Structure 1
Amino acid sequence: MDDIVPRELISFADDEGNSVTVTVLGRAPGWPAVLEAEIVVRTPFVSGRVDLALYTSRLESWSAALDRLDAGEDVAWMEMSRGPSIFVQLTGERDCPEVVVEDESRSMVTVRVPFVPPDDWIADHQQRLRKVMDHWVPLLSA
């Protein structure tokens, strides 16, 4: 039954072995309105992970970010908040989309990951977000 619980909120990946994912791990113990999540970066050169707290307003801001991406704009998600930030640049330094993960508050590390997305990647992420919100948000307010 656990495999039907939507866990993967973000998955930027390509055939070159580059990926950035955000995975929901579950409700945060002791924090009824918070989800535990993690950002995982994997490339042939560098790999790492960082913990992330998700709550309804962060999921809603990801929805707004996806709308801006769909309109052709670069986005910053969770910028200027405690914890890591994710930036999506539609035309990065290598003339392809890239994801930048910053963890200034803890490790002070920034990782830039180029990726070649499939044609429907924004619609795919909108669907991922809907599934995560439909399942998890009612549990956060319970």
Structure 2
Amino acid sequence: MGMFPFELVRLSDFENEVRIVVQSAMGDAFWEAKIEITSLFVKGSTLLVLSRPKLEAWAHALEALSLGQAITWMQTDRGPTVSVQLEGERDCPEVVVEDESISMVTVRIPIALEDGWIADNQARIRCFIENL
């Protein structure tokens, strides 16, 4: 399957970015991915294993965001969690990536998300799921 790497999640503005890039399939039910964070201040990444339930949970999280609700994705699993708060402290959304289980590091990044970012990410997840 020639779809890797696949940029599943892109939350960005001109300075800050959180991306989740699917690197490869691990059999039929799991995918190896990487969360990449880039800002003027901090740059980092951590590995992540995605499953079909996690992919479906991201689709549901995007639906909640479209209704104006803050979300936390992958909270119940071991490994990193991603939260999106639409009303951050700096008058723009904030993305929080927590890596409690491995590095114990939390990164909070304000991102002035552009119009259409939810639809863009919904198209990405749809495309990925349709090509499984």
Correspondence for 1:13: 12
> RMSD of the alignment, in Å?
1.5
Unpaired runs of 5+ residues, structure 2, are: none
CA distance in 1, matches of 2:29, 2:11: 26
The structure with the greater share of residues assigned to helix is 1
Correspondence for 1:122: 118
In the TM superposition, residue 35 of structure 1 has moved relative to its aligned partner by 0.3
Unpaired runs of 5+ residues, structure 1, are: 137-142
Give the aligned residue type for 1:32: D
Higher relative contact order (CA 8 A, sep 6+): 1
Give the aligned residue type for 2:63: D
Q: Is the aligned partner of 1:110 residue 2:106?
A: yes
Q: Deviations over 1:21-56 (max 9, x none)?
A: 00000112xx43110001000011101000000110
The number of aligned residues is 132
2:61·2:73 contact (CA, 8 Å) conserved in 1? Answer: yes
Q: Is the aligned partner of 1:27 residue 2:28?
A: no
Q: State the identity as a percent.
A: 46
2:96·2:106 contact (CA, 8 Å) conserved in 1? Answer: yes
Map of 1:81-120 to 2, 5 A cutoff? 81-120=77-116
1:89·1:99 contact (CA, 8 Å) conserved in 2? Answer: yes
Q: Is the aligned partner of 1:78 residue 2:77?
A: no
Q: Which has the greater radius of gyration?
A: 1
Output the TM-score relative to the length of structure 1: 0.88
In the TM superposition, residue 80 of structure 1 has moved relative to its aligned partner by 2.6
Give the aligned residue type for 1:117: L
1:6·1:132 contact (CA, 8 Å) conserved in 2? Answer: no
